[in-house]
Each structure stands twice: as C-alpha cells, then as structure tokens.
A and B are shown apart, each in its own frame.
Chain A
Amino acid sequence: MSGIDRRTVLKGSLGVAAASALARPALAKGQTIKVWWNQGFYPAEDAAFRALVKDWEQASGNRVELTLLPGQALNEKIISALTSGDVPDVMYADNAPAQIVPQNAWKGRLVDVSDIVEKVKSSLSPTAIQSAQFYNAEEKKRGYYGVPFKGATLNIPVWKSLIEKAGYKMSDVPKTWDKFFAFFEPVQDKLRKKHMRHTYGLGYTLSTTGDDPNNTFNQLLVGYGGGGIVSPDGQLHTKDPKVRKAVIDTLNSMAVPFKKGYVPPSALNWGDPDNNNAFHAKEIVMTPNDTISISVAVMDNKKWYYDEIATLQLPLDNDGKQVPALLGVELAFIPKGAKNIEAGKDFISYLVQPKHLGSYLREAKGRWLPVMPEIVHNDPYWLDAKDPHRPPAVRQGVLGPTLTWFYVFNPAYAQVDAEHVFSVAAADIINGMSPDQAVDKAFSRMEAIFSQYQIPHQA
C-alpha cells in the first residue's frame, strides 16, 4: 500500500466517473445502421417512415441503410438472419410480435431494450408496457425485448349501404355480442331476395394462413369470457371450465354460421388480404379486421369512406359489459450480434419520442394506433368527429380497456397461433366433429406445445 493513499484512490475514482459520464451520452457520428422495416399497405406509410429516417439522420449525423419489404418476405428474412447470426441493427415486422419476438426472446437472441422503454414508460399505455416483456429462458426472467410504438385492435367495418338495402338502419344493429353477430344473418337473407346471389352476412376468416383467423378467434374468445386461457405468468388454463366453455362458444359462433351459409365458403382459404378484397367487392356485409386498413384503402373514394362504410367497435358482451380489446402492440427490436447497437437504440429512442411518433403515425394516415394515449389527447386528428373510421378505432384501442395478447405471456401461444390450432378446430366442427371432440383435440395439441415452453409460475 506504500504508493497508494486515500486521496489517490478518490482522485482515480472521480476521474473514471467523469470519463464514463462524458462518454455515455455522446453517440459517435458518421455511423451507418441497417434497418429492416415492414413495407406499408399504401405509399403514405412508407413515405412517413422515410421522412422519420431522414429526420433522425439529420439530427444524429448518422445514416440509415433501409430495407423495406412486405410482411411475409420480411419475416423469412428476419428468421433466416436470426438463425444464421448475420443480422441488421434494427428490425420491425407487422407480425413479428406474434411470430418472431416471443420465440427469439425465449432463446436469448434479442437485445434487452429496457433502457429505451424506461425513458418513455410514463407515456406508454399499461398494455403496451406489458406487451414488450417477454420471457428469456436462458436468463430465466422477463425483460423488455422490443420497444412498443404502435398497435391495433379488431374493428368491424360494415357496409351501411348494404344494411340499408336490406331494409335496416344502422341504429338497428344490436349492441350485445350474440345478437350483434346474429343480426347479419337476416341482412344476408334479405339481400339474397334482392338478387345479391354472392353476398354473405359474415366475413369471418376461417383459414389456416396469416393473422386474421387468429385475430378474429382470440378476440371472440375474449368476448365469450375466455381471456384467461393463458395467465400473465405464462401458464395454460385449458382445465378451467370457464375457458373451455368460452372456446366451445367461440368455435360454434364461427362454425355454425358457416355451415348455415352465412360465411363465404372461400373464407376457409382466405389469406390476410382476402377479407379486405371480399369486403371491397361487397361480397360480405361485415368482416372483423385488425387496423382500419379496409377503410383507409378506399379513403380517396369519398362516397364509400364517408357515406357507405362504417367502422364499428366491438359489441358489449352478452351481459352488457364492455369487452376488453386485444391490443396487438407493434415492436421495434434489436438482435444480438447487431454491429451498431447503440446507434440502433438511438434511432428507436428517436422514433418513440411522443412528438416524432405522433407525427409519423399521422403522416402514415393513422391506420395504426399510437400506444401513447397523450398523442391522442394532444392532437385532434385522432378523434376528429368528421372521420367515421379512426375515432371508433381510437376509442376502442387507445382510450378503452385493452388486453395483452397471450403470446406475450408464453411463446407457446405464438406457436398455437402459427399452427392455427383453433382454425383447424373450427374446420373440424364444420366437417362434422362435435365441438367437444374438436376442443379436446385442440387442447391436446396446445398442451403438447406448452410442454416445450415451461415457465416457472412466478415469472
């Protein structure tokens, strides 16, 4: 100890502290980050994102090498990258939170982004915060593996003009669950009598591809009281009689109208855009759909947008209580092995500043909802009474009660959705299997999948 006294140690400690304090906030300029981003449904979405990228480039002095790809192609690229380890710095795909993030957070392949989320936590909705926390099986704990920035719930676009043609008024549409969906059956009957040979009342997607079948089934499940099928600690509750009954009710509510001819037969084979196309072709009077893409896609057709199409919120449950909407929260995430993690984080931090995020989502024509309620409160655009589509979506998905998707609680549910276990069960009922047998088969598959993703009860 002869050469080192207390003063020297203190001096040294202060020096190190000062150096690290100075080094941390400064992001080196002149870096290039690779960003893979989901292409928009229409050009305005891409233009809005490009504008945000340009703003960040100017503000940070860094550059973005941007790759925009449509959803399916991007998923393949992301999965390949995460498997091989040759990854970009920032990624976002529309259905990554449901199909990619849970499994890869589980495998420890994503960077923990708690530092970004913590900075904007006070602005985020509680569902958004919960939707970013996934279980890491390597570290045996949950962490933030994505930064929430936008979301969507299931809306119900309907053709007002077809309802009126059938001899009803919009005010005739019932407010409670079963009655609401049953209303569209006589609407179809009356339209058929008016020689609309190929118009169907209900546009349920019952296929085994894409997200729409899962979005519809799971939201209907919540409406029938089955929201506890997976608890936030990741446990599966197929033994719960309430859950079983809700699953049976949900499957029946989709399969029985199909068998009665109130759902287009081709709905068994629809891809994600097909219910949009069928709606625009007036083949269906209504269709449950995430985001307000169906309406926004025809925004330039003023007559359709303002007069003929309405966006309805979810009905009340059969007891007259409000049904929480499953909020699909979109996440930007960073893979482990990214070369510029700090610059990538800086880009995402810039994106989720309420001012930047509000402007970006608004410029993208508001198809997606902000996950920061203050954006909606501070900008009249989101609740503009003249717009017949965005305000109902905002009231339901931002201001109303929302639920976190089950795949956040356990990645096994992401696989259940990816395998379309419940679409297969609905098809089994359509093909003559009893609902009890179909549910037994589905639950057996679910239990097999969940056995591969075991999470301790307290996590």
Chain B
Amino acid sequence: MDATVGTTTLGDAAAARGGIRRRLFGEGPHGSDLNWALAFLVPYVAVFLLFVLYPVGYALWLGHHPESYRELFNDPIYLKTIVNTLVYLALGVNLHLFGALMLSGFFTRTNWRVRSLFLVYILPWAVPAIPTFIAIHWMLNGEWGFLNNLLYAVFGIDGPSWLNYRWLALFSSVGAYIWKWMPFWTVIFLAGRMAIPQELYEAADMDGAVGIKRFVHVTFPLLANLYLVCTLLSTIWTLGDFNTIYFVTGGGPALSTHVLATLGFRDAFEVDNPQLGMAAVLSALPLLIPLVVILMRKLAKTEVQI
C-alpha cells in the first residue's frame, strides 16, 4: 500500500516537474541541449544581475527615503534645474534631430566634394567627448578664449562673457551638444533615406512632386517612424547627459545651468550626500518611464517600417 502510494507520489512529482519545465521552456531543448542552453544563458543572466539589476536596485534603494525628496525640493536651485533640464531637452533634442534630418538630405549627394565634407562633418562625433567639451569651455572664455579673440581680430569687438549669463551659458551648452551629436543622427537618417526605394521618387517625379513637395509627401512620411524613434531615444540620452553641462559650464554661473544629471552628481559627490544625489536623478523618472514605455512599444512593432 505504502509502496503504491510512494510510486504514485513520485510519478506526480515528475509530472509536475515536467509541467514546470514545459511552462518555462515550452517544447524547447531537453537533455544535453538544455544544459548547453543553460551554459550559454547563465553568463548573460549573471552579467545582467550584476551590472544591471544590482546597480539599478541599489540606486533605487539609495533614493528611496522620502526625506531626500523633501530636502531636494527645498533646495533653492532644484526648480531652476528642472526648467534648465526641460529647455535643454526641448532645444537640444529637436534642433539637432531636425538639423540632422535636413543635412542627411544634403549628404545623399554622391559627388566627392560632399563625401569629403561628410568625413569632416562626422569628426565631432568621432572624437572623445570630455576633452572636446573642456576645449569648448576654454574657447568660450571671455578674456582669452578663441571665440572672443576671433571676434576681436576680425571685427574689432569684445565678445560677451559667454559663460557668465545663465541663458547664454545654457545655450552655449546646447550648441556644444548639438555640434557633438548631430553627426551621429545624420548618419542614422542618411541610412534611413538610403532605404527608401528609388522607384517611389521616380513615381513622385512623374506626379510633379519635386523639391520641397517631394520631401513633404514622400521622404518625411516614410522617415516619420524612424524620426519618432530617434526623438524618443535622443530624449532619453539627453536627459542623462552629464558631460556637456559639467565640462562646458560646470553648472555655473552661480549654479544656474545645472541639469538633473549634474545636480545629482553635485549632491552625491560635492555635498557628500549620495541619497540626495540619487533622489535628484530619480526625480526624472516620471518623464523617463513614459518615454521608455513608448519607445519599447514602437520598437516592438513587427512590421518593417523605415
């Protein structure tokens, strides 16, 4: 009796394990195939846990105190930082993506002069960011910077102290950001344009759609989805951009050009309050999460879209 019960129980357990396995792996690999699959999977899972899940979890844990947010909202520069972040996003993302879209049209030309110019044009993207932004900081120096010396040498005028006024300093940073990243997006849009079948342009030509009409009625509708995905991606990257502001303005003058990424760094490592710094960074989540969700939905579409 006991033996029968035992056999039945073991059989049930084996069936249950099989069920779990089927649920986990479907009708996928079994036996040595499964072992190989696990052998390949485990390192990736370990790396993901160690370098993605753990740091994100730790960051969330550091920034979970309500007191940190109370302190953050009481910081007199926080509101200014939010405004700066939104201005930086609105200008930085839209100007450089629109510029990239336009320039990608120019760079579709195939003559050697344009190709040579393209090589020069993508250089800012290719050079390391930090020395570039430090160089821009020096170029914008009011007394001995390259820009003002050029203005003096060519026009005989003393240029402004570019980094001494909030909006001028912030726009200078936006300019540096656009200069650095526009080439990258130009390459993306150039690839997008090259994927548009030539027959469509030939048909549009026959219908009389040339010049701006061709762009409005053919090119842009076909690139619209790519443009939207690039905008979302660029917004996420720009929101996390630290180097430009930190090395071009340093958050100055008088802490007036900080964005959330640089404020978070200042609070964590200059004020020596990592919890506050993390709260500053996490306060961007209400904007960041919807962007990521929309981006994931756009990327999850199965049909091929340019």
Contact = CB atoms under 8 A, between A and B. Distances in A.
Contacts of B273: 103, 415
A281 interface: yes
A423 B62 contact: no
Contacts, number: 82
In this complex, the interface size class of chain B, counting residues with CB under 8 Å from chain A, is 20 to 34
Given A103-B272, A198-B144, A414-B272, A266 B251 contact: no
Nearest to B275: A83
Given A79-B272, A418-B271, A268 B74 contact: no
A445 interface: yes
B272 A269 contact: no
Contact of A419 (B137, B144, B250, B271): B271
Contact of A265 (B142, B254, B271): B142
Contacts of B283: none
Interface string B192-230: 000000000000000000000000000000000000000
Candidate in B144, B251, B255, B274 with the most chain A CB atoms within 10 angstroms: B255
Nearest to B254: A427
A64 to B, nearest CB: 26
B143 A269 contact: no
B76 A268 contact: no
Contact of B254 (A72, A198, A208, A266): A208
B253 A208 contact: yes
B269 interface: yes
A209 B251 contact: yes
Nearest to B268: A79
Contacts of A209: 250-252, 270
B141 interface: yes
B164 interface: yes
B144 A281 contact: yes
Interface majority SS (helix, strand, loop, mixed), chain B: loop
Interface in A416-459: 418-420, 423-424, 427-428, 431, 441, 445, 448, 452
Interface in A55-76: 72, 75-76
A99 B163 CA distance: 26
A415 B142 CA distance: 30
Contacts of A83: 62, 274
Contacts of B254: 208, 268, 423-424, 427-428, 431
B90 to A, nearest CB: 24
B251 A208 contact: yes
Interface of A: 72, 75-76, 79-80, 83, 99-100, 103-104, 198, 207-209, 264-266, 268-269, 271, 281, 283, 414-415, 418-420, 423-424, 427-428, 431, 441, 445, 448, 452
Given A208-B250, A265-B164, 11 more contacts: A76-B269, A79-B274, A208-B255, A209-B270, A265-B143, A268-B163, A268-B252, A269-B163, A269-B250, A269-B252, A415-B273
21 contacts: A79-B274, A100-B272, A207-B250, A208-B251, A209-B251, A209-B252, A264-B143, A265-B143, A265-B161, A266-B141, A266-B142, A266-B161, A266-B163, A269-B250, A281-B144, A283-B144, A414-B272, A415-B271, A418-B270, A419-B255, A427-B253
